[in-house]
Amino acid sequence: MKRHRVILLCHEDLIPPDSSEGLTDKQLAPFKTEYDVMVTLREMGHTVWPIGVSSDLGGIRAAADHLNPTIAFNLLEEFDGVGVYDAHVVSYLEMLRLPYTGCNPRGLMLAHNKALAKMVCRYHRIAVPEFFVATMGRKVRRPQKLEFPLIVKSLTEEGSIGISQASVVHNDEKLSERVAFIHREVRTDAMVERYIDGREVYVGVVGNNRLQTFPTWELVFEKLRDGAPKIATGKVKWDDDYQKRIGLRTEPARDLPGALAETLPRLAKRCYRALQLSGYARLDFRVTDEGRAYLLEANPNPQLMYGEDFAESAEAAGIDYDQLLQRILNLGARYRLLGQA
Ligand SMILES: Nc1ncnc2c1ncn2[C@@H]1O[C@H](COP(=O)(O)OP(=O)(O)O)[C@@H](O)[C@H]1O
Ligand SMILES: [Mg+2]
């Protein structure tokens, strides 16, 4: 096995400590992913230098020049506080001719614009919720055929920023209010989609050309109060106490309706290819009781923390955490950079 010289690109505030000794779980939590990846790669014999990146590409340039890395392991989710700038950082790596892990900039750009991603998927006859974009500074005009309930979210931000139970709206007044909220608080255009009532499932995919899927994973809300929409709000994703209260857990999806158990992995691969993703990604779907699956979102470079959904579902496919990271390194090293033979 080739021993890589890895620069681990992390947010400047999330550079992991060399050891977790003396740290409580809570203290380690913010940079747990960075820590897990760094330690695991080192245990496998790779050399790893964490490089903090915030609003300056100079650190990457200096590391590329002085450390002679064979690959950049990309854990960045933003640049200078802007989510969609993550694609530009990867473009910069490509222009440096430095191999990198995870998704290429074309795929990141497509997937991170929720409207663009859905337009491309529709072209490929992949079912997506109908939607319209409510642009900042313009009056909200709901297309007549788009009926309530609708869900309002940011066009480009991730991590359920701006998503709460109030995001699901049932009339035009609430719709306008919620769009104004996204414009004002998240400061992006808003994506307004038909609310798909159903189960929420995730499919992990790895690969560049030949793709492998992991077993379908489900987000279960066991104790959410009756009638409350079962959606992954910011609180659902980030508030431990709330997670306990609503009985949140993720697990292999069981007894999926219709033929979904067989068709979802194929569908996930079609989405991955349609959006030109590479490396690894998680495709999120809502499935209805009638057995229809709608793509909600494509997440290139999903959370890689040990024990998180993506790694857990890989493990269920027989791929341990170190094997998963090695696979991601190999895919990055093999991805053919544009302009190279
Ligand atoms: N059209 C929809 N129908 C039902 N639930 C939705 C829909 N869109 C989003 N959601 C809920 O909101 C959550 C976050 O939306 P998503 O588009 O994945 O944004 P983010 O990038 O913030 O994760 C989803 O995981 C899902 O629970
Ligand atoms: Mg999501």
Of 143, 171, 194, the domain-final residue: 194
Ligand 1 atom closest to Cα of 114? 17
Which CATH number do you get for residue 143?
3.30.1490.20
Predicted pLDDT at 341: 54
Place of tokens 């009532």: 197
Predicted pLDDT at 339: 62
Which of 151, 167, 250, 310 for mutating ligand 1's site (highest number of atoms within 8 Å of CB)? 151
Q: Is 276 left (phi over 0), alpha (psi -120 to 50) or beta?
A: left
Predicted pLDDT at 338: 66
Within-domain flag for 79:
yes
Q: Answer yes or no: is the C-beta of 309 below 6 A from any ligand 1 atom.
A: no
- Dihedral Cα 94, 210, 305, 129, nearest 10 deg: 90
Within-domain flag for 258:
yes
**Which residue, by CA, sits nearest to atom 2 of ligand 1?**
195
CB of 195 closer than 8 Å to CB of 305: no
Helical H segments across 124-159, by residue range:
none
Within-domain flag for 305:
yes
Q: Is residue 142 located within the same domain as residue 72?
A: no
Ligand nearest to the CA of 231: 1
What distance in angstroms lies between residue 81's CA and the mean position of ligand 2's atoms?
18
Within-domain flag for 85:
yes
Q: Answer yes or no: is the C-beta of 159 below 6 A from any ligand 1 atom.
A: yes
Ligand 1 atom closest to Cα of 162? 22
**Which residue, by CA, sits nearest to atom 13 of ligand 1?**
232
Q: Is residue 296 located within the same domain as residue 317?
A: yes
Of 194, 218, 252, the domain-final residue: 194
Q: Is residue 13 located within the same domain as residue 60?
A: yes
Q: Is residue 218 located within the same domain as residue 325?
A: yes
What distance in angstroms lies between residue 139's CA and the mean position of ligand 1's atoms?
23
Phi/psi at 85 (5° precision): -75, -10
Cα(171)–Cα(86) distance, rounded to whole angstroms?
35
Predicted pLDDT at 223: 83
Ligand nearest to the CA of 288: 1
CB of 275 closer than 8 Å to CB of 117: yes
Within-domain flag for 165:
yes
Q: Is residue 327 located within the same domain as residue 230?
A: yes
Predicted pLDDT at 226: 80
Q: In this structure, how many other beta carbons lie within 10 angstroms of the beta carbon of residue 119?
A: 13
Q: Is residue 166 located within the same domain as residue 244?
A: no
CB of 274 closer than 8 Å to CB of 124: yes
Cα(239)–Cα(127) distance, rounded to whole angstroms?
31
Cα(231)–Cα(233) distance, rounded to whole angstroms?
6
Q: Is residue 217 located within the same domain as residue 150?
A: no
What distance in angstroms lies between residue 330's CA and the mean position of ligand 2's atoms?
26
Q: In which domain, by residue range, is 237 found?
A: 197-334
Within-domain flag for 116:
no
283 forms bridges with which residues in the sheet? 203, 298
What distance in angstroms lies between residue 230's CA and the mean position of ligand 1's atoms?
10
Q: Is residue 214 located within the same domain as residue 312?
A: yes
Predicted pLDDT at 340: 64
Within-domain flag for 251:
yes
Of 143, 178, 194, the domain-final residue: 194
Which CATH number do you get for residue 66?
3.40.50.20
Which CATH number do you get for residue 220?
3.30.470.20
Number of domains within the chain? 3
Q: Is residue 215 located within the same domain as residue 281?
A: yes
154 forms bridges with which residues in the sheet? 190
Helical H segments across the chain, by residue range:
25-28, 32-43, 58-66, 86-95, 105-112, 114-123, 172-181, 234-238, 240-245, 260-274, 309-316, 321-334
Q: Is residue 177 located within the same domain as residue 218?
A: no
Q: Is residue 206 located within the same domain as residue 81?
A: no
Q: How many residues does the chain have?
A: 341
Within-domain flag for 275:
yes
Q: Answer yes or no: is the C-beta of 186 below 6 A from any ligand 1 atom.
A: no
Q: Answer yes or no: is the C-beta of 158 below 6 A from any ligand 1 atom.
A: yes
Cα(293)–Cα(284) distance, rounded to whole angstroms?
10
Question: H or E segment at 8?
Answer: strand 5-11
Q: Is residue 213 located within the same domain as residue 157?
A: no
Predicted pLDDT at 225: 83
Q: Averaged in consecutive runs of 10 residues, what is the pLDDT profile of the chain (341 residues)?
A: 96 93 91 97 98 95 97 96 94 96 97 96 98 96 96 92 94 97 96 96 97 97 85 88 90 95 97 98 97 97 95 97 98 82 54
Q: Answer yes or no: is the C-beta of 84 below 6 A from any ligand 1 atom.
A: no
Concatenated DSSP letters of 318-330: T--HHHHHHHHHH
Q: What radius of gyration, in Å, describes the C-alpha atoms of the chain?
A: 20
Phi/psi at 294 (5° precision): -115, 135
